Structure 1
């Protein structure tokens, strides 16, 4: 198949203070075996040397475009600003502290072709690496009972409500899916849970059982900030859960959402985010899925300041 016949894939490379990781991340884009790529580099007002490195790569690759945002707007707005300027049939949201393995794009596009036109997102396994690039483990553990967490393909709305199983950096999204959603919700502090919920309502997901991506673990990464005192993402999670409640069509889906809300409630109490815990308890009441322990937690957070 010639480059002209292969669908265009957009890689939106989002950077905020990733200078020390940028060369390896951007080289991984250059090393892709898939030829028909559109690359948009977005710097979200970094305060390190990221902009200088991004400019050097953009100058060396005339078909790459560079957006230097004048102020820090966060991942959702930064992504949308690039998405509106992009043209790819498929889109990758690429954090520039991560690494794409050479076959990543090619294998994901093949997976889309196998999954069919109702597939809105392909995801896969990832290697988790430390700051020096050393392997820590894989996202999915291989056990005697299969992969853990258990991946899901097809219509996965209830799955994404109840549990976490998708490695965000491995996602490749269909443009039509993102356009139907209006891109990322810019009112949120993070994007993946909201995308999974809204996209899986009308689109199928497909799990590709191979490692295509390396996800970087370091103290400044977004994933390290969740479930900590004063979690900056907890209010966004609550907002997405409320969206999900409005989208549930049957009791099985409401039960799945209750599993998620109950988990978030217990984490909020554990880390002393009591105001958010009270909101989550109210949401669990609306779902009519309160256990005895939930009620005890509700009494506790109602009286504590």
Structure 2
């Protein structure tokens, strides 16, 4: 039986310090049917020169070098349009793949119903020096996950909570084709992809550590909203899309939880206009409890409580905010 082709789309922006480790991890995959496409989004460091070295040594690598910065979504879409794989990995070149990552996820896909569009896994977190920081998912003393990552129909889950480690995902090509790739109008892609794909496709959690996810100050996931931040604007757009996709009471409850969270986050980062937009969405969804009526008043008066943000996070989530 012919093994399906897997396209690894490697997205690079100022990853000079991590690039060799990332590309080496792609090249040592045990799975033989791999297509590698690398996009450098006009890095300001030495990333492009390093990629050229790899292309010279490994001519099968396709290299797209941007003359203008396009952002992650556009960069991915450009590479996806060139790709031919039945399965796709969106790989940021500050992360690292386990050697058997592709082989194990393909094997999982081939054993699952065609309704499954995404297979995701656990990951080991590493710092800038590649030192281990622990696993992405919490586990008890027996090694059991808690809470368990959702699988199957995860639409309500992706609305209500953050539980997928993005770099661990392998995606069926048909899913991305159906969605038209990533929404290039957005500043980031994962939440939007989860919402749109989970409406019609199932997810499967493969309980293995197959990726090293790097934690560093410049990664997009570690950026705190600044006033007028495009990520927050994108989040509002995604929630508006989700409002049109919700079908059940459970999904509506999950959407309310998401809006409440984002409204709090917008307020405590000084994004008052966006917080008011979110609070109006919350009112439209019937989720305006007394605490959020107070939050609306504080937002309208622009009462600056940003100094309490760290203590708020410690109280609510058991850790301080960044």
Look up the SS of the partner of 2:139 in the other structure: strand
Matches within 5 A, 1:64-213: 64-143=61-140, 146-213=144-211
CA distance in 1 between partners of 2:147 and 2:192 (Å): 19
CA change 1:257–1:220 in 2 (3 A) is same
In the TM superposition, residue 227 of structure 1 has moved relative to its aligned partner by 4.4
User: Is the Cα contact below 8 Å between 1:9 and 1:90 reproduced in 2?
Assistant: yes
CA distance in 1 between partners of 2:140 and 2:232 (Å): 31
| 1:281 aligned onto 2:279 | yes
In the TM superposition, residue 244 of structure 1 has moved relative to its aligned partner by 0.2
CA distance in 1 between partners of 2:211 and 2:114 (Å): 24
In the TM superposition, residue 299 of structure 1 has moved relative to its aligned partner by 1.6
CA distance in 1 between partners of 2:108 and 2:224 (Å): 31
Look up the SS of the partner of 1:169 in the other structure: helix
Look up the SS of the partner of 1:84 in the other structure: helix
User: Is the Cα contact below 8 Å between 1:127 and 1:214 reproduced in 2?
Assistant: yes
Q: Residue by residue, what CA displacement relative to the aligned partner does 1:30-55 show, whole Å, maximum 9, x if unpaired? A: 11010100000100000100000001
In the TM superposition, residue 58 of structure 1 has moved relative to its aligned partner by 1.1
CA change 1:213–1:228 in 2 (3 A) is farther
In the TM superposition, residue 186 of structure 1 has moved relative to its aligned partner by 0.3
Look up the SS of the partner of 1:40 in the other structure: strand
Residue 3 (structure 2) aligned to one of 1, 6, 23? 6
CA distance in 1 between partners of 2:218 and 2:195 (Å): 26
CA distance in 2 between partners of 1:304 and 1:244 (Å): 28
Residue 271 (structure 1) aligned to one of 269, 272, 283? 269
Q: Number of aligned residue pairs: give it.
A: 302
Stretches (4+) displaced over 6 A: none
CA distance in 1 between partners of 2:158 and 2:49 (Å): 39
> Which consecutive residues of structure 1, in runs of 5 or more, have no partner in the other structure?
none
In the TM superposition, residue 113 of structure 1 has moved relative to its aligned partner by 1.4
User: Is the Cα contact below 8 Å between 1:226 and 1:233 reproduced in 2?
Assistant: no
CA distance in 2 between partners of 1:241 and 1:232 (Å): 14
In the TM superposition, residue 115 of structure 1 has moved relative to its aligned partner by 2.0
Instruction: Indicate the residue corresponding to 2:257 in structure 1.
Output: 259
Look up the SS of the partner of 1:143 in the other structure: coil
Q: Residue by residue, what CA displacement relative to the aligned partner does 1:233-274 show, whole Å, maximum 9, x if unpaired? A: 111111101100000012221111000110111111111111
Normalised by the length of structure 2, the TM-score is 0.91
CA distance in 2 between partners of 1:39 and 1:262 (Å): 40
Instruction: Indicate the residue corresponding to 1:247 in structure 2.
Output: 245
Normalised by the length of structure 1, the TM-score is 0.96
Matches within 5 A, 1:52-63: 52-63=49-60
CA distance in 1 between partners of 2:242 and 2:176 (Å): 17
Instruction: Indicate the residue corresponding to 1:45 in structure 2.
Output: 42
Look up the SS of the partner of 2:199 in the other structure: helix
User: Is the Cα contact below 8 Å between 1:100 and 1:214 reproduced in 2?
Assistant: yes
